[in-house]
Amino acid sequence: MNVNPTSSDINSYLSMPLSVPGLSSGMDWQSIIKKLMSISEQPLNRLEAQRTSLENEQNALENTFKPMLEKFRESLLNLELPSTFLAKSSTVSDTSVLDASVSSSALTGTYLIKVDNMATFTTLDPSKTVGNAIDPTKTLSSLNLRTPVTAGYFTINGVQINVDPSTQSLNDVINAINSSSAGVTASYDSTNDKLVITGSGNAVINLGSPGDTSNFLQATYIQNAPQTLDANGNTTVSSTVHLGAVDTSFSLSSLGINSGDISINGVKIAVDATQTLASLISEINSSSANVTAWYDSNADKVYMRSNVGGPVSITAAETNTSNPTNVISVLGWGSSATQTTGQNAKIEISSDNGSTWTTYTRSTNTITDVLPGVTLTLHSASTSPTTLTISQDTSTAISDVESFVKSFNDIVNWINTQYNQQPPQNQTTTTSGSATQGVLYQNEMLESVLSKMKSMVYQMVPGLSEYNSLPSVGITTGAVGSGWYQTMVGTLSLDTNKLQQALQNDPQQVYELFANDPNSSTGNTQVGMGVIQNLDNTLYSYTEFNGIIDQYASNQGYIGSRLLDINSQIVQTARLLKQQQLYYIQQYTAMEQMMGGLSGQSSFISSLANPSSSTTY
């Protein structure tokens, strides 16, 4: 709805040029008409002033006051949550043994907790490595090495040794090392599938140099391997990883694995020979088999650990034994694998300072069902008890109530200022900074909201005993003798000590005082509507779409209707003024024409009476 007129009558009237020359009479008709019109324009000026006043009131209510109330309502949300008033806090005497987190349902008190043992998880240790031992007689390029050997040279004790993986085997390279002047003896340990280099004496063996062009020393895992002394006192160094170790990027087919299905803890796992080892591990971990598999690159093994603690076993088997995938045999998960069985966590709890103890066993180190509202996270076993103290957490509630009191006072002070601020005495001299001064002076909407807010915070909540009003928990209009102004204006004061005492004595009743809703499924039907809940509901009736404020101040409400009416009057008045102005112009123009004609006749008569003055013979 457009409440701002754009009538051509107003525009044409206001912009109409006024030019009435007084050539015949010598009178300034333009000034005379302007003065006459200034008197006639007074009703139009009054209408425009009314429109400006209504627009300023509308803007103040819709764009300032309403958003202010909406923001205030948002700040009430925390005071409507049970967790604000019923929150608990916990302290643990030894966090290296356990941690505790508590919810509002936890019972306050002191508990002694002994962690006799942690929950452990069954682990499957494969019986073999994934990769097989290499054949030292085959060319290096034909071996399925994790890092292929490159051609070039490497250095031992400053002596360069050439290698060509396309033509040389590991034995060929070993012979080249042994026949060089490097002063070392190289050999292949077939039992552990490793390269071994032994020096003569206890001197350090210098392996590699910055100028090496072959990665042979890195590919055989001997470049940075630790050096020790053997039984004869000679320095020796061997590969840190067996030479046939694989990489998780290897395809399953390159490891001798076929497509098909396997079963882990009774859960079928599909195997595709084209997928990588990493992909298979990921598939296992994302399944419902309740295990975690991982590849140890140093050991070249794929281990599994149960995700369920306690004495459980891990089963891995081929689904089709007549056409196996070979996963179980290649990864060493068969009957020869070693399983280290897990154990349950065992804790003891005393709530009477150690007089009596209750023992609990659980399959996890995160225990949620032995103390109401308490989650225990075990870190280590301990022979001495750890103290857990659960207490009422009043800090959150006090902080939120402090914020409420401040926000409440800010709105009350704003309303009082706007309600009592009078408009400027002389509107024609009002500066731009005071254009809206007093726009809400004695405004009934402000008076209504302020009255509601005051009555809400002073109400008593039926059904409550000791803490049945805000003053009973320390929220008042000020202590005795604090002054008439605070009581009259309606601002609040908070006694945090009194609030804290109430929270410690009966947090449930304090919560119901603020936020009980007997109409909700979680509310107490024996207790009336809480103060904050009631205040929130009341303010919502003002701020909701098409609520009380909108019905009064919006373009579709009372003010919008008044603006439409005034704008219609302005248009009609402007039309009349336009007609009046045209009438004056026409009348004065006719008068000038008449006076011009009379002046011409006078000159003609004068010329007849005095012919000599105008004729020469």
Residues 376 and 519 in one domain: no
Q: How far is Cα 246 from Cα 568, in angstroms, rounded to an integer?
A: 89
Residues 108, 197, single domain; the answer is no
Cβ contact 86:507 at 8 Å: yes
Domain boundary among 238, 256, 271: 238
Asked if pLDDT for residue 303 goes beyond 70, the answer is: yes
Where b means 16+ CB within 10 Å and e means fewer, 88-100 reads bebebeeeebbeb
pLDDT band at residue 568 under the 50/70/90 scheme: confident
**Are both 406 and 541 inside the same structural domain?**
yes
CA 585 centroid distance within chain: 71
Answer positive or negative: Cα dihedral of 282, 288, 292, 295. Answer: negative
Same domain as 521, residue 460 = yes
Residue 608 has pLDDT above 80, yes or no: no
**pLDDT more than 70, % of the chain:** 88
The pLDDT value recorded for residue 295 is: 98
Mean pLDDT along residues 212-216: 97
pLDDT at 548 over 80: yes
Q: What amino acid is encoded at 145 in this protein?
A: L
Distances, alpha carbon 204 to alpha carbons 61, 157, 174, 183, 217, in Å: 88, 9, 19, 11, 16
Q: In the chain, how many domains are there?
A: 4
> CB burial class (10 A; 0-12, 13-18, 19+) of residue 612?
exposed
Residue 429 lies in a domain: no
Residue 574 is assigned to a structural domain of this protein: no
Instruction: Please report, as a single letter, which amino acid is at residue 271.
Output: V
User: Is the confidence at residue 336, as pLDDT, over 60?
Assistant: yes
Residue 19: the pLDDT is 52
Query: What per-residue confidence (pLDDT) applies to 429?
Result: 45
- Residue 41 within a domain: no
Find the mean pLDDT for residues 520-543: 93
In the predicted structure, residue 516 carries a pLDDT above the cut 90: yes
**Partners of 111 in the beta sheet?**
388
pLDDT of residue 72: 92
pLDDT of res. 615: 46
CB proximity list for 209: less than 8 A, separation 6 or greater: 155, 158
pLDDT at 15 exceeding the cut of 60: no
> Residue 310 belongs to what domain range?
123-129+247-340
Res 35: pLDDT: 82
Q: Is the pLDDT of residue 596 over 70?
A: no
In a domain, 159, yes or no: yes
Dmax (CA) for the chain in angstroms is: 166
Residues 248-269: tens digit of each pLDDT: 999 999 999 999 999 999 999 9
Q: Is residue 366 pLDDT above 50, yes or no?
A: yes
pLDDT in tens, 446-479: 999 999 998 888 899 999 999 999 999 999 986 5
Res 5 pLDDT > 80? no
pLDDT-wise least confident of 20-29, 215-224, 309-318, 436-445: 20-29
Residue 30: per-residue pLDDT: 77
- Classify residue 615: in a domain, yes or no: no
Q: Name, in order, each residue with C-beta under 8 angstroms of 383's C-beta and a sequence gap of 6 or more.
A: 114
Interval 124-150: pLDDT, tens: 999 999 999 999 999 999 998 999 999
Same domain for 355 and 336, yes or no, is no
Per the prediction, the chain carries an average pLDDT of 89
Of 524, 553, 582, the residue that ends a domain is 553
Mean pLDDT of 182-208: 96
Q: Predicted confidence band at 431 (pLDDT cuts at 50, 70, 90)?
A: very low
In a domain, 73, yes or no: no
The pLDDT, as a whole number, for residue 478 is 62
498 within some domain: yes
Question: Which of 502, 525, 553 is a domain's end point?
Answer: 553
Residue carrying the six token digits 């013979």: 617
Are residue 517 and residue 549 in the same domain, yes or no? yes
**How confident is the model at residue 569, as a pLDDT?**
86
pLDDT, tens digit (0-9, with 9 covering 90-100), for 393-429: 999 999 999 999 999 999 999 999 999 988 887 654 4
Q: Is the pLDDT of residue 383 over 80?
A: yes
Contact 310, 343 (CB under 8 A): yes
Q: How many CA atoms lie within 13 A of 408 on its CB side?
A: 26
pLDDT tens for 49-97 read 888 888 888 898 999 999 999 999 998 999 999 989 999 999 999 999 9
- 183 with 261, same domain? no
Q: What is the C-alpha to C-alpha distance for residues 175 and 168, in angstroms, rounded to an integer?
A: 10
Are 357 and 312 in the same domain? no
- Residue 183 has a pLDDT of 95
Residue 140 lies in a domain: no
Contact 431, 437 (CB under 8 A): no
* 549 and 401 share one domain: yes
Report phi then psi at 100, rounded to 5. Answer: -140, 135
This prediction's pTM: 0.63
CA 501/CA 506 separation, integer angstroms: 9
Are residues 535 and 402 located together in one domain of the fold? yes
- Return the pLDDT at 558: 86
Buried b / exposed e over 151-185, threshold 16 CB at 10 Å, is bbebbbbeebbebbbeebbbeebbeebeebebebe
Average pLDDT of 359-368?
A: 96
Whether the pLDDT of residue 617 is over 50: the answer is no
Distance CA 275, CA 259 (A): 9
Same domain, 193 and 212: yes
d(CA 112, CA 189): 57
Element spanning 375, H or E? strand 374-378
Distance, in Å, from the CA atom of 21 to the CA atom of 68, rounded to the nearest integer, reads 58
Is 90 exceeded by the pLDDT of residue 609?
Answer: no
459, 516, 525, 536 from 528: Cα distances, Å: 11, 7, 7, 15
Q: Rounded to whole angstroms, how far apart are CA atoms 378 and 470?
A: 43
Q: Which two tokens stand for residue 44?
A: 């139009």
Would you state the pLDDT for residue 580?
A: 81
Q: Are residues 325 and 472 in the same domain?
A: no
In the chain the first and final C-alpha atoms are separated, in Å, by 83
DSSP 83-116: HHHH-EEEEES-TTTEEEEE-TTPPPEEEEEEEE
